[in-house]
Every structure is written in C-alpha cells, then in structure tokens.
Amino acid sequence: MTQLRISISSSREQFDAFAARLAQELDADMVLSSPGYPAETTSVVGVHPEQELLFTEQTTPEAVKHFCFDTPGVALGYVSYTYGMLLRGIASDKPNNFPLGHLKKYRGWVEYNAEQGATVISAADQSMLDDLADRLNTALGSAPMLPVKGLPKGAPVVSLDQAGYEAGVSETLERILSGHTYQLNLSTKFSWNCPDLDPLALLLVLRRDHPAPFYAWMQSGQHRVLSTSPERFIRVSDGHVLSQPIKGTLRVDKHTPEAEAQLVNSPKERAELSMIVDLIRNDISANCEYGSVEVRNHLSVFAVDTLLQMYSDVHGKLRAGRDCLDLFFDAFPGGSITGCPKLSSMTIIEELEPHSRGLYCGSMVVIRDERNMDSSIAIRTAVHDTDSGAFDLYAGSGIVVDSDPAKEYQETMAKAEKFLTLGDA
C-alpha cells in the first residue's frame, strides 16, 4: 500500500491538542511521550484501523511477526502479562476477561518528533492526508477540557487489603529465605464500578496534571486502556537496544539532592535495581551481539508524580538475523515486574496474588519494522470496561530480603495515589 507523507512544523502543545482531538473525534489510539524524562521518545497516534491482531492462546510470536512485518506501517497496541505467562508455561485458572494482546495497523498515523519540532503525518490517500493536516493546523483552537464525568467515588474493592498485602510480603520473605526467589514483585488490584466514567477525558486530565514518560490510550473491544507508565521496557532503534529498568522508589514532597541521595544510598533500593539490571542484561544478551551489552548511568534518578524512581540504562546491539520481536518475546515480561529468577518468581506471584494481572505488567508497544520498536511496562495503568462499568487499577512493589511489609504496602499505595484520589477532585 502506498503511503503519502507530510511533515509540518509543530510545537508540543499543538501536537498534544491534535492528538486529543484525534482521540475524541476519530477514536484514535495513542502512545504519547512527555518531555524531560530519560525515556522521552516519539509520540505516535493511529487513526482508521484497517488490520488488527487479537491474541488468543494459539497466537505465536511468529504470527505476531507476520502481522507486524508483512505489510508496511506502524503497529500499535499491547501484550498482556497473561500472554507472558503462556510464553513461560505458567498455568492459571483465575478468571480473566481481558484479551491476551491486541495490535492494530492503521490507514493513517501521525508521529511527533520533539527534537525536530515536527509532526509527520502518514496516510493511505490524499483526502485523509489533507484532513489530518487541517485538524493539526486548527488543533490549538479546540474546545478546552471539561470536568471528567463519572469519576470513581468511595473506597475501591481490593484484591489484597493492607493485612493481606503485608501477609503476602511476609510469605514472599519466607520464599526468599528458602531460596525460591531473591526478588519478587507483589501487586494488589483496586476496582470500582463507574458505569458513567468518561475514560478518555480522564486520561487527558491525568496527562495534563501528572506527566509521565509513557502515556497510552487504546480502544480494545469494550475495554479502554489508560496507561501512565514511567518505565521503558525495550526500545530498538536501527538495531540499537535500550532497556531502562526501574527499581527503587521514594515518596517525596519535593525532588531535592538530599532526597535523591537518600534513595541512591539505600542498600535495599540499590540491591533491588542491581538485581533487575543483571536480569535484563541476561534477557537481552541472547539476541544481542557478543560483547555489546553494557550498563550506563547506573543508579540514576528521575521524579514522576510524588515519587523518585531509580533506573539504569542497559544497552546492546541487535544481532544480525534477529529482529526486535525476537528480542521482545524472549525478554517478556519485563524483569522489574516479575522479580528474579524470573520463572520461579512468576510462579510464586501466580500463587500469592488472588487476581489475574491481565494487561497490568505487560507492555504497550509501537512496532515500526524488524529493527525499530519501543515499548513501556504497563504499570500505573488502568482499564475501564464500558460494558460492565468496571474500572480496574493495579499497583505493587518489589520485595527483597530486607523488605518491611508495612513499608512495601505504603509504597504500593503511593504508586496508586493519583488514581486513588480521583473522586476527591
């Protein structure tokens, strides 16, 4: 299929207004980057989907590769944590009404490159190209955001309350001492009934008030995905591989050098990150050139919401004969949200958590071709079911041998805070 393309000089404010308008008027799907973060990337919006791949238990990584690579154009969507369990051979009998994965390809898509200050519009025909360009040029005059309708009120139903979560941490510590894992991510699920919620309006308000490296919005059947993730899983850019695992969290009122030093100098938080960096190095090495995998900027810190987050850059070079999806599926799901060793930790997670994670801890992905891809870890991510009205959010923390159950619960609540306080606005 021939693609027409045009590049238009644009500010970020103009692109953001344009993207919101496309989501409101054309049911667009979006992965949006925010400025100033170490994971800043190209924002992508897809309109007029023409192909889709809805994952089932029979969907193989090879089938995903055919969908993404056999025809030109970006593929945008998600791969669930539950699909990652299938890849690792971990069975589950928990109810799960969320798709295992969903990718779409589009007749038109737009990308914003902040370094070049330009919006690139690609479209299947001249009419669509002209329409999208007109919408971009008039985007700044679009209607202002209105109050979000149908916000969750009251306390959510939780899969693990404070006592249950702390008991899960204590059980995890027993598993660590018995040698079955040495770091494990334990989560809880928060659920509300919000039949009148306007999820897109909520996402746009969250993006305005709580910037984060990877915002995403996707319509998947009756589900609406609202992702506000701070964490990159894997990017492949012309074969150059970058993973940026996050481990180590500190809630602060203000990002100060003293607070940053407190996080960086914590033996527990340093150990958490170093364990996961080792895991990621191992996960990507099989698909990278020998000797190319290295760690840079170890123990770096950035702020998102009221949290300081510690991260590292893990680089590599994709081997000849391998593609970005070989790398993605061999490393999936990300080690920062499983723990390590990965297989044993995932097995224990399935035993200790009473809920199915679904999309949570999976990935939002943008796949361009065999050697170009970007993906986030789907944390700080909520799903609204427009049929049932259910609005579900998850949060968790990484547990190591010197974890304190009460502190791990507090960290989990801090990560969920921007969603937990929505009804108070």
Place of tokens 């009934």: 193
- The closest alpha carbon to 188, from 360, 315, 32, belongs to 360
The H-or-E segment that residue 61 falls in is helix 61-69
- The closest alpha carbon to 254, from 187, 305, 329, 324, belongs to 305
Beta bridge partners of 395: 188
CA distance 29 to 225: 10
Is residue 345 within 8 Å of 181, Cβ to Cβ? yes
Other beta carbons within 10 angstroms of residue 179's beta carbon come to 8
Q: Could you confirm whether 94 is annotated as catalytic? A: no
CA distance 45 to 43: 7
pLDDT in tens, 370-395: 999 999 999 999 999 999 999 999 99
- For 151-169, give the DSSP string: ---SPPEESS-HHHHHHHH
pLDDT in tens, 52-62: 999 999 999 99
| pLDDT value of position 422 | 83
Beta-strand ranges (E) seen in 209-306 are 214-220, 223-229, 232-237, 240-244, 246-251, 294-304
Q: Could you confirm whether 231 is annotated as catalytic? A: yes
Pairing label, strands 390-399, 183-193: antiparallel
Virtual torsion, Cα 364, 368, 371, 375, nearest 10 deg: -10
| Annotated catalytic residue, options 104, 247, 342, 418 | 247
Rounded to whole angstroms, what are the CA distances from 95 to 47, 82, 186, 348, 355? 32, 11, 19, 18, 8
| pLDDT value of position 175 | 97
Is residue 259 within 8 Å of 424, Cβ to Cβ? no
| pLDDT value of position 146 | 72
Rounded to whole angstroms, what are the CA distances from 41 to 100, 107, 139, 237, 420? 26, 22, 22, 11, 28
- The closest alpha carbon to 376, from 266, 256, 255, 230, belongs to 230
- The token pair that represents 282 in the structure block: 């191992």
Contacts (Cβ under 8 Å, ≥6 apart) of 262: 250
Q: Is 25 exposed, middle or buried (0-12, 13-18, 19+ CB in 10 A)?
A: exposed
Q: Which residues of the chain have pLDDT under 50?
A: 425
| Annotated catalytic residue, options 65, 111, 231, 342 | 231
